[in-house]
Structure 1
């Protein structure tokens, strides 16, 4: 039986993504047992003797506990980074717009075009050696990615126009284009955090168009910022640049499309 092409593509995307994620985790020794103890989850058993041996054991327990806390902290940060990755946020955003407008099919089309397709592009560039990882953490590698995604969004806009998408999804697509162009320009100077910037932009968009309750999502912004800095993908200045750029993008979108 012949395997459908989309199944082959989905398998390739999943395998490539998981391979990159596992390689990134391996760099930080996740899944490996710390060398100081046989199993870091087992409690440290103190020796019966007192004196220097007991002091060494207490010191070892303190160091091991600190290592465990730092490992769990970094793992939590990586989980947040994956959940709040731009491609994931875009999928959720357009599915929400599709549900609000009752145009589920067009919402799914927009989610695929702004989430799945850009990730396929990035994974393809990884295979070609043009980008280092699926988060594209090197600034001078982001230009090509932005250009590719902008082209994808422009094509998607024409598709949605032909399908007569609802105004809210239409506004969301143009907002995505404005966001990409603005971030592409800012990235020429600084590696602004797209994770944080997109979170701010999408939450504010939903708060202005769907329900003001969505604005409470801005309270999660520091968590995303912490995660990006915790795994050393961004500095504080890059986080601030992302927040400001995301807010500016929302302001431009509101002035041009929503006001």
Structure 2
């Protein structure tokens, strides 16, 4: 005998699936990797784009995955405030190392500026997290910051990427990973810090 699922339950399930999909697609590591590859290719240095993508996206995600496997981190989005402090320091160290290599080896200025912008944005998130004790949304900080940088570096059409920010914010709210305040702080940090540092360094 078949059981008819209530329409409301079906809608809730669909919304939950959509929220998870948006959260994964807009995850900081995927956005960082994509933006590094796009900028590196656009300025004629895809190798440097891949290098920065490694240290700003792939290696941090591997570190988080290791923490999940060892059960020191609850999930790969690191939604628990207490789990973020040491992790943020470790990722800051990775990105700083990448910046030093770029400076020594003569990376193109656009890639150095992108790395500096990412480093500064992460410092801002770390300050919100450890000093102010606000669990600012890294999803929103990275998405908004990357859109702003690509718009400055490659053309104003990239600003259209901000049209997706409300959907990403909704996904974080729907999954109960952040509050409206935490999402707003993350978005503001990305929009203000990332492009400002990029323009200062580039």
The TM-score, its normalising length taken from structure 1, stands at: 0.73
Displacement of 1:243: 1.3
Aligned alpha-carbon RMSD (Å)? 1.6
In the alignment, which residue of structure 2 is the partner of 1:121? Answer: 63
Matched, 1:100 2:38: no
Q: Identify which of structures 1 and 2 has the higher relative contact order when contacts are C-alpha pairs closer than 8 Å and 6+ apart.
A: 2
Aligned partner of residue 131 in structure 1, secondary structure: coil
Q: 2-side partners of 1:178 and 1:156: how far apart?
A: 14
In the other structure, the counterpart of 1:213 is 157
Residue number in structure 2 paired with 1:247: 191
| TM-superposed deviation, 1:255 | 5.5
Matched residue count: 200
| Deviation of the 1:252 alpha carbon | 3.5
In the alignment, the residues of structure 1 paired with residue 14 and residue 42 of structure 2 have an alpha-carbon distance, to the nearest angstrom, of 37
- 2:79 is the counterpart of 1:79: no
Give the CA deviation at 1:128. Answer: 2.9
Partners of 2:33 and 2:2 in 1: CA distance: 43
Larger radius of gyration: 1
Matches within 5 A, 1:161-240: 161-188=103-130, 189-240=133-184
Match of 1:139 in 2: 81
The offset of 1:173, in angstroms, is 0.5
Change (3 A) 1:126 1:155: same
User: Structure 1 residues 192 and 38 mapped into 2: Cα distance closer, same or farther (>3 Å)?
Assistant: farther
Contact 2:118 2:194 in 1 (8 A): no
SS of 2:65's partner is helix
CA distance in 2, matches of 1:85, 1:255: 24
The whole-number CA distance in structure 1 between the counterparts of 2:138 and 2:68 is 19
The separation in 2 between residues aligned to 1:140 and 1:150, in whole angstroms, is 17
Assess if the C-alpha contact under 8 Å between 2:40 and 2:46 holds in 1: yes
Where in structure 1 are there 5+ consecutive unaligned residues?
A: 1-36, 45-60
Query: Per-residue displacement from partner, 1:129-187 (whole Å, max 9, x unpaired)?
Result: 32111000001111111101000001111222343211101100111110111110011
